[in-house]
Amino acid sequence: MTFYKPSLKNIKLFYISSFLDSFWTCAPFCVIYFAQITGSFTLAMSLDTIHNLTTTFLEVPTGILSDKCKRKTVTCLGALSVLIAAYLYLIANNYFILVMASIFFGLYTALMSGNNEALIFDTLKENRLQNKYHKVMGRIQGYGSLAFGISALVGSGIVWLYGIRETFYAVVLVNFLLLLVSLNLHEPEIHTNKINDNPFKHFSRSVKNLWKNKRLRYLTVATGTDYGVSYAAYNFMSIFLNQFVPTWVLGVLRTVSYFLGSLSYFLSYKISTAIGYTKTIMTFVGLNYAINLLTVLANCVISPFIKIFDNLTNGIVGPAQNTLLQKEFTDKQRATMGSVVSLFRSLIYGASSLLIGIMADLFSEYVSLVVIYSALFLLLPVYYKGLKTK
């Protein structure tokens, strides 16, 4: 890739920041750590709810902030927020500090959502390389998936040698480095023209543009529902799989899954280029649904081993979906439209989590997951409609 303008250094910096951003050595042990501090699994799990609620409320305002101000500034604020969150998690000795940490973590998630993709797309478009967005995003997400896998192993080693709290020292250090990388980003000239609309008008225009674009409307419904339902089922799946293998085995298998996911992210652009976006998304989304449904239907000790292969499909589909959405977003509302899509995903995730839990209580974990993964196949016609609409 030829570097035409200073802003293109952003791409290499995002490769680094994606790895740092995903290097959370504490991730496999957070709930245990929170429960040790609060003395309650209910309070420990409530922290995830606080994080999600914070993200949901701030999703659109931070998207508007990104469109009206400098995208680099928003990225730096996000890096600072997650550094504060990591430090608060490290020093926490009561529930209140954990709540504050979760709020800052939610702020970080909202700031980064939509903004970073917009910054990357603006960088490439400024250099007339927007056709490389898919390839670049595949690499960025591939480095992130690789970091998840490596950090899980490193975190396990730290816990074995020292303890769970010590994993947060590594998280603080890594997020300090993330802030330094963010400060070195360059604001693309293509985004230096500020948006003069008031926030409400800007948001209204973003929603209107999204709704008027029939292709974007279908893709938003398909990808948003897919993500929200699948992520809720993914979080619940560990409860189902834990009956077949010990918890530590699930951790090892998840690491393997991350490594496979990293490989598929790097292959996403080549596959989509070779067979086209429609065949790529229809084939690998359908395959992902089939793998997860088979995991549940097997209902035995091989289920956890089937599950690890779903990340192979996620890595191929994710960058392809993101690329199609970015192509349909308008330049002036790019980050806000991305935040609206993310908000839709969050709402679907919340509703799906509740529905999965209710069905599990009324029937069983098995029935709940079979129903959810079977229902996902209904999204395939919506995907097809969006992909074929011009």
CATH code of the domain in which 142 resides: 1.20.1250.20
Among 194, 222, 256, give the residue marking a domain's end: 194
Which pLDDT score is estimated for 5? 59
pLDDT tens across the length of the chain (390 residues): 444 556 678 889 999 999 999 899 887 778 778 888 988 767 876 787 788 888 888 888 888 887 777 888 999 999 999 999 999 999 999 999 999 999 999 999 989 887 888 888 888 888 888 888 888 988 998 999 899 888 888 888 888 888 889 999 999 999 999 999 999 998 887 655 555 666 777 778 888 888 889 999 999 999 999 998 998 888 778 778 878 887 667 777 878 888 898 999 999 999 999 999 999 999 999 999 999 999 999 999 999 999 999 989 999 999 999 999 988 888 777 878 888 888 888 888 878 887 888 888 888 889 999 999 999 999 999 999 999 987
Among 194, 215, 235, give the residue marking a domain's end: 194
Alpha carbon 255 to chain centroid, angstroms: 17
269 and 350 together in one domain: yes
| Sign of the CA dihedral with 285 first, then 265, 177, and 185 last | negative
Is 4 contained in some domain? no
Is 257 contained in some domain? yes
Which pLDDT score is estimated for 91? 95
67 and 164 together in one domain: yes
Q: What single letter denotes the amino acid at residue 25?
A: T
Q: Which helix (H) or strand (E) holds 67?
A: helix 41-68
Cβ atoms within 10 A of the Cβ of 372, count? 22
Which pLDDT score is estimated for 57? 85
20 and 147 together in one domain: yes
- Residues 74 and 109: their CA atoms lie apart, in Å, by 11
Domain holding 342, by residue range, is: 195-390
Is 142 contained in some domain? yes
Which pLDDT score is estimated for 1? 44
- Residues 369 and 359: their CA atoms lie apart, in Å, by 9
- Residues 225 and 222: their CA atoms lie apart, in Å, by 5
14 and 113 together in one domain: yes
Radius of gyration (C-alpha) of the chain in whole angstroms: 20
Domain count within the chain: 2
Which pLDDT score is estimated for 285? 96
Is 67 contained in some domain? yes
- Residues 137 and 139: their CA atoms lie apart, in Å, by 5
